[in-house]
Structure 1
Amino acid sequence: MYAENIQRSVRRIDNPSIHQGINALHCARQLIAPGDWAFNDPFLLMAEDWFPKGVFDTHPHRGMETVTFVLEGHLEHVDNHGNGGVIQPGDAQWMTAGRGILHNEVPVAKETVHLLQLWVNLPAADKMVEPRYQDLIGSDMPRRQLDGVDIRVFSGVSGGVVAPTLNYAKVTVLDIRMQPGRGYEEQIPGDYNVFLHILEGEGTVGPDKQPVQAGQVVWMARPETGDPSGILMSSGSAGMRVFLAGGLPLREPVVARGPFVMNTAEQIAQAYQDFRSGAFGA
């Protein structure tokens, strides 16, 4: 028991815009831009995408994890390790690329899928682990229900409710739905780097009640202590839905190129060589 809980203030609010993606069928919003590795740590990037079948093709990854959270539509997943299935609205897929994987994510016919994809860095010691796939069904995830607030725990812990998700980096991911005019405080370790993506509605965040609205990414201040810290949220007249992610920074070098994220340029070169030589598999 600690004498006083640290209340996190808002550090920064981003207002990313929607733009055309890789072709005219693809709309995207870059919620977390790659490159500012120290600020984002242990997260690498986050994208919001709208796309039909035929936009993406089979592609490789190494050295990181992807968390794909489906908001609308149905997404078929397949990889070269025998995993496959359909991710439905409210579900997530946690894929550990590890030493190397080939995969594709394809909307079912005649549907446009709306999703979030978060890239989580793997610790240097775990960059070359065996690939792993975790299917996180929203209705099966551990759940907290408070007065007008519903929290699904996709990774980590919330209020003593623990997700079964297997992690290499310490990461908490929550889907928080607040009815109109509700207040809520999420407890999270003070040394975690935390951001909120406002999925729906509007409200306030932090002890100084910073106004937030749908589409924004809200970065919270870092107390830089392992003691518990509080993140205060209040919903407005339309309610509010929040995607919250927090993780313990790795504080390791990051070298990224395309779909590969390693610690040195030599490791990136080796990843491309392994991919081209067929070492990732068929």
Structure 2
Amino acid sequence: MWKAEAEPRGGSHLKAAPVLPPGRWQEFDPFLLMMEDWFQAGTFDFHPHRGFETVTYVIEGRLKHEDSFGGYGILEPGDVQWMTAGSGIIHSEDPLPGETVHSLQLWLNLPKAEKMTPPRYQDLKASAMPVRREAGAVVRVFSGSSGGVAAETKNVVPVTFVDISLEAGASVSQDLPGDYNGFIYVLEGRGRFGAEETPAEAGHVLRLGGAGGAAESEATLRADEPLRAVLFAGRPIGEPVVQHGPFVMTTAGDIKLAIEDYHAGKFGRPKRR
């Protein structure tokens, strides 16, 4: 377990906290990194990506997405954009004028065989996502399933992503395939996690341990006070990771090609709306 510490940034990027620090590729596989950001308009103007997916969860504020393949959306608090960069895309994520957006952005790796898949944008509205309800617990399912409640989100790499809200004293268990790797990030409140009831509070990140070869596993959350957390888990890819700025491939040669293709205009041309 560790704590994500926010640091001030210059310009219109007010603060940023590394939830999953970059570079620990094998430990976090299939996840590459996750940042918690507080930012204003102009911070993330048009920029390229290739070889992975971005999953952006808006906590506060309204965020506009535009990309070079026609993807467009206004995300409200609780909404998610799931963007498959694949073979290459140029996009922007811009708060609406006068607003500060508080968000999480996860980078999800793609296997070598899928890194050049066509780009895709999924706008996942919180109001349209399936919800699992238990006593004192609300689990909103953005990807994968929870207690038999499943989302229709399209995945390249199998991933479970749920937002869990618990009343004080309530508990819930999230079922997962035994081969998944994952983590829980506490957004609000305080509680105990897992079979050992590890205590954690807002800002803490908890790794989900392996199932020891079992086909299935589960993660249990118990709230000592009103608690909100996000849980991400996915099937490891087990391939080399070479990252250079906004490109994530498996070899240095593929990174060089990505840079060349971007400068050659092969990532499409974005248009502002």
Q: Which residue of 1 aligns with 2:107?
A: 119
Counterpart selection for 2:175 from 167, 187, 190: 187
Point out where structure 2 has 5 or more consecutive residues left out of the alignment.
none
Alignment partner of 1:60 is 2:48: yes
Partner of 2:245: 258
Partner of 2:136: 148
CA distance in 2, matches of 1:21, 1:96: 27
1: CA distance, partners of 2:151 / 2:10? 35
Query: What is the root-mean-square deviation of aligned Cα atoms in Å?
Result: 1.1
The corresponding residue for 1:280 is 267
1:131 Cα deviation after fit: 0.2
- Equivalent residue, structure 2, for 1:19: 7
Report the counterpart of residue 122 of structure 2 in structure 1.
Answer: 134
Select 1:44's aligned residue among 28, 32, 47. Answer: 32
Percent identity between matched residues is 47
Tell me which residue corresponds to 1:244.
231
The normalised TM-score by structure 2 is 0.96
Size of the aligned set, in residue pairs, is: 269
Structure 1: segments with no counterpart, 5+ residues: 1-12
Normalising by the residue count of structure 1, what TM-score does the alignment of the two structures yield? 0.93
Number of the residue aligned with 2:93: 105
Alpha carbons 1:189, 1:225 under 8 Å: kept: no
Quickly say closer, same or farther: Cα 1:224–1:66, change in 2 above 3 A: farther
What displacement does 1:58 show?
A: 0.6
Q: For the residues of structure 1 that align with 2:33 and 2:10, how far apart are their CA atoms? A: 17
Letter of the 1:23 partner, please give it.
G
Deviation at 1:22, TM superposition (A): 5.0
Cα offset, 1:222, TM superposition: 1.1
- 8 Å Cα contact 2:46/2:92 also seen in 1: yes
CA contact (8 A) 2:12 2:39 kept: no
My pick for the range that moved more, 73-82 or 222-231, is 222-231
Q: Does structure 1 retain, via aligned residues, the 8 Å contact 2:52–2:109? A: yes
Q: Say if 2:202 is the partner of 1:214.
A: yes
Q: Does 1:269 align with 2:252?
A: no
Q: Distance in 2 between matches of 1:212 and 1:46?
A: 19
Distance between the aligned counterparts of 1:97 and 1:224, measured in 2? 33
Q: In the alignment, is residue 79 of structure 1 matched against residue 77 of structure 2?
A: no
CA shift digits 1:93-140 (9 cap, x unpaired): 000000000000000011000000001001111100100000100011
Helix, strand or coil at the partner of 1:26: strand
Residue 220 of structure 1 deviates from its aligned partner by: 1.6
